[in-house]
Amino acid sequence: MKRLAVICLAAIMLTTAACGNKETPEQTTQPAQDAFADTTAAITVPAEETQPETTTEVETTEAETAEETTAEPQLPTETEDIVELFNETANKIKTNASSVTKNFEKRNVNKDRLVVPAGLQSTADSMISSFMKDDTDPIVYTGKDAIKENFIVPGQSYVSKLDPSYVKNATCTDKGDTYEIYIKLKSQTSPTAGSGIGAVCDVIEAGEVAEKAPFVEKFTTEYYNCEITATVDKETGKITHIVYSTPLTLNITVNMFGKHDLIIGFTFIKDYDIKY
């Protein structure tokens, strides 16, 4: 009965505390205080034990959030870094690609850079037609040998050895699941394969023209505002689509019924898809 009385007294005191009515120490006997203290301890222990669990859960969530935030790669902003990234990703094409599809190749005449002497219009038309045949149907290259021989730079084991000194400006832009590398090149006179613009673009050399037009006595080229736009998959770090635009001016001296100078402007646009 004494034990029951103590329990009842403790229950009454708990109810009173919950309602906001506090007893003074003089109104409570010492045994009741002991009983109440024991009961309170029993109740508060679980609350003290759950507190660390809540703190740990918050800390884990914050750590996970920080990890997710830092996982996104930082894209380069400086020209040198963008060129280095482009060279690295572009050269994976000839080593890793299973196929390269040339979707099309367009050849446009830049009429603002067309200078033909009177009486040589037919000669100019003949030369233009030899370079102006568009490829409108897709051409698929499969296997390392075919890709090496036909994809830029043709016949070389690399796609780009571009030096930043030949770059006018470059950007690297986040596009969601991909990022886009854009490079605009400086002007260059008569580049050759493997150097300058010829280290990243397909260029026309004097030897090619001499084979097709033996009456050409002098031949130089001026490449200007050449552009490369590459789409890179973020997950794999590989180029999946690339477009080359290479405007150029042909400065020609022909020996046909006397010597004559001609200036002919072209823009070549090549569009490719790459699969791995």
**Domain end (from 71, 97, 131):** 71
Q: Is the pLDDT of residue 37 over 90?
A: no
* More confident of the two residues 173 and 50: 173
The domain total for the chain is 2
Range of the domain at 19: 2-71
CA 206 to each of CA 131, 132, 189: distance values in angstroms, whole numbers, following the listed order: 14, 17, 12
Handedness of CA 201, 206, 212, 216 (dihedral sign): positive
- Asked if 236 and 144 sit in the same domain, the reply is yes
Which secondary-structure segment (H or E) carries 141? strand 139-142
Do 94 and 215 fall within a single domain? yes
Percent of the chain at pLDDT > 70 equals: 71
Radius of gyration of the chain (CA): 39
pLDDT over threshold 80, residue 213:
no
Q: What is the pLDDT of residue 15?
A: 36
Label residue 65 exposed, middle or buried (CB < 10 Å: 0-12, 13-18, 19+): exposed
Question: Whole-prediction pTM value?
Answer: 0.70
Q: 156: which residues sit within 8 A by CB, 6+ positions away?
A: 148, 193, 194
Within this chain, do residues 67 and 112 fall inside the same structural domain, yes or no? Answer: no
Cα 37 to Cα 35: distance, rounded to the nearest angstrom: 5
* CA 38, 39, 44, 46 torsion-angle sign: positive
**Of 50, 71, 92, which one is at a domain's C-terminal end?**
71
Same domain, 137 and 117: yes
The reply to whether 25 and 83 lie within a common domain is no
* Angle at CA of residue 222, ends 208 and 153, nearest 5°: 55
Written as one string, the DSSP assignment of 39-103 is: HHHHHHHHHHHHHHHHHHHHHHHHHHHHHHHHHSPPPP-SHHHHHHHHHHHHTHHHHH-SEEEEE
Report the C-alpha gap between 103 and 60 in whole angstroms. Answer: 50
Structure tokens that stand for 161 in this block: 């050895």
pLDDT bucket at 176, cuts 50 / 70 / 90: very high
**pLDDT tens track for 69-97:** 445 568 999 999 999 999 999 999 999 99
Tell me how far apart the alpha carbons of residues 157 and 91 are, in angstroms, rounded to a whole number.
8
Which one-letter amino acid corresponds to residue 123? T
Burial of 41 (0-12, 13-18, 19+ CB in 10 A): exposed
Give the other-Cβ count within 10 Å of 1's Cβ: 5
For residues 111 and 40, state if they share a domain.
no
Give the domain-ending residue among 49, 71, 93: 71
Q: Are residues 97 and 13 in the same domain?
A: no
pLDDT of residue 73: 64
pLDDT of residue 111: 80
In this structure, are 60 and 90 located in the same domain? no
CA distances from 191 to 62, 153, 260, 270 (A): 55, 13, 24, 19
CA distance 243 to 229: 5
Per residue in 114-145, pLDDT (tens digit) is 788 777 777 667 767 766 778 899 999 999 99
Q: Of how many residues is the chain composed?
A: 276
Cβ neighbours, 10 Å, residue 167: 19
pLDDT, residue 199, reads 97
Distance CA 74, CA 19 (A): 59
Do 16 and 39 fall into the same domain? yes
Which CA distances in Å does 64 have to 55, 98, 234, 247? Answer: 14, 37, 21, 50
Q: Are residues 94 and 153 in the same domain?
A: yes
